[in-house]
Amino acid sequence: MSTNKNTTKETNQTDGHELRNAGIPFDLGFINSININRSAVERRAATIATRRTVKKQHQAAWLLKAITFIDLTTLAGDDTPGKVKRLCQKAKQPVSKELLEALDATELNITTGAVCVYHNMINTAVDALKGTNIPVAAVSTGFPAGQSPLPIKLSEITASVNEGAKEIDIVISREKIFTGDWQGIYDEVNAFRIACGDAHIKTILATGELATFTNVAKASWVCMMAGADFIKTSTGKEPVNATLPVSLVMVRAIRDYYQLTGVKVGYKPAGGIQKAKQAIEFMILMKEELGNEWLEPHLFRFGASSLLGDIERQLEHYVTGCYSASHRHAIS
């Protein structure tokens, strides 16, 4: 997938010393030309888990790395300040000191990539994470359905940024995809990008609702054209969330966008990633399709709430040879 459009690059950099995505002009002709071969995607995705074997100490190293990609998340109706504070403590110390000592990993200063909450818990999370480099991410723009009017969506973003959120996870208006209003999605995401200011914008496509891989690819491109720092699969509330085939479509769009602009856009699979084995499969996908450069927290995240507990269990099994009960690794 290629095009000869002129591009612009922004001079400000991310914490990972990468150029932020300033976006490029919208090109409907290019978007309409995108067509994805579903069977080819599914064949390639089916090989990902079988092409590379990660065992023993290598698996432990990959799992420790995976922890740094986790956006430790609580998005429930029963969230309380106490629950969020406990989540933040877990983000700061995701693995027990004893386990880190056994793994000879105490000097790595491992934390999760971020803590993700609803707007009304931002202040609690910011206070709990003072003195760390762990950013607070907030879901916004009428999450999860995205059916709020645009002025309300923009006010949500502004309010969250003012409360101290450093990352904003927005949802796109999926109905615009099914009416073919790609310009409308571009304009909306671009307005969100401007409202975010220095906060990074992660655009949620809700891929489980988009019906086709072609729609997923088109939505990925439109969001990146509009200035998204990350593209993200799901809200976690759809019947189908992050899958390897959908992820393959999205990361190849990221790769093509990088080849076109020289700007790296991040990727965040979210929803349904509960097991350490799944995390490694997604990491293999990133390594094979985008390279080691993308295996850093400023370019790759997991949206997950229960993944960390299973990673801890697997690390404990590596150290002791025994699996501990899941309740010993509660997140909050």
Asked, as a colleague might, if the bond just before 144 is cis with ω within 30 of 0, I would say yes
Q: Is residue 232 predicted with pLDDT exceeding 90?
A: yes
- 22 CB neighbour count, 10 Å cutoff: 15
List, as one string, the DSSP characters of 152-186: HHHHHHHHHHHHT-SEEEEE--HHHHHTT-HHHHH
Catalytic status, residue 275: no
The more confidently predicted of residues 180 and 14 is: 180
Q: Encoding tokens for residue 202?
A: 């992660």
- The pLDDT value recorded for residue 2 is 39
CATH number for 28-329: choose from 3.40.50.200, 3.10.110.10, 3.20.20.70, 3.40.1110.10. Answer: 3.20.20.70
Query: Cα(265)–Cα(231) distance, rounded to whole angstroms?
Result: 7
Task: Provide the residue ranges of all domains of the chain, joining segments of one domain with +.
Answer: 28-329
- 3-state DSSP assignment of residue 319: helix
Query: Cα(231)–Cα(220) distance, rounded to whole angstroms?
Result: 7
- The pLDDT value recorded for residue 37 is 97
- Of 65, 90, 153, 169, catalytic: 169
Q: What is the largest CA-CA distance in the chain?
A: 58
pLDDT range class, residue 241, cuts 50, 70, 90: confident
Catalytic status, residue 176: no
pLDDT range class, residue 28, cuts 50, 70, 90: very high
Q: Are 222 and 188 in contact (CB under 8 A)?
A: no
Q: Is residue 5 predicted with pLDDT exceeding 50?
A: no
- 141 CB neighbour count, 10 Å cutoff: 30
Quote the pTM value.
0.91
Return the residue matching tokens 């002009």.
Answer: 25
Q: Is residue 162 predicted with pLDDT exceeding 90?
A: yes
Q: Are 226 and 200 in contact (CB under 8 A)?
A: no
pLDDT digits (tens, 9 = 90+) for 268-318: 999 889 999 999 999 999 999 999 999 999 999 999 888 999 999 999 999
Helix axes 182-196, 150-163, angle to 10 degrees: 30
List, as one string, the DSSP characters of 260-291: HHS-PPEEE-BSS--SHHHHHHHHHHHHHHT-
- The pLDDT value recorded for residue 262 is 96
Catalytic status, residue 232: yes
Q: Phi and psi for 267 in degrees, rounded to 5?
A: -130, 135
Tell me which H or E stretch contains 72.
strand 70-73
Q: Is residue 17 predicted with pLDDT exceeding 70?
A: no
**Mean pLDDT score across all residues of the chain:** 91
pLDDT range class, residue 219, cuts 50, 70, 90: very high
Q: Are 304 and 273 in contact (CB under 8 A)?
A: yes
Query: Cα(219)–Cα(70) distance, rounded to whole angstroms?
Result: 24
pLDDT digits (tens, 9 = 90+) for 31-86: 999 999 999 999 999 998 887 778 889 999 999 999 999 999 999 999 999 999 99
- Of 65, 90, 166, 232, catalytic: 232
| Alpha helices, DSSP H, located in the chain | 28-33, 38-51, 56-67, 81-92, 97-102, 122-128, 150-163, 174-178, 182-196, 213-225, 244-261, 276-289, 307-320
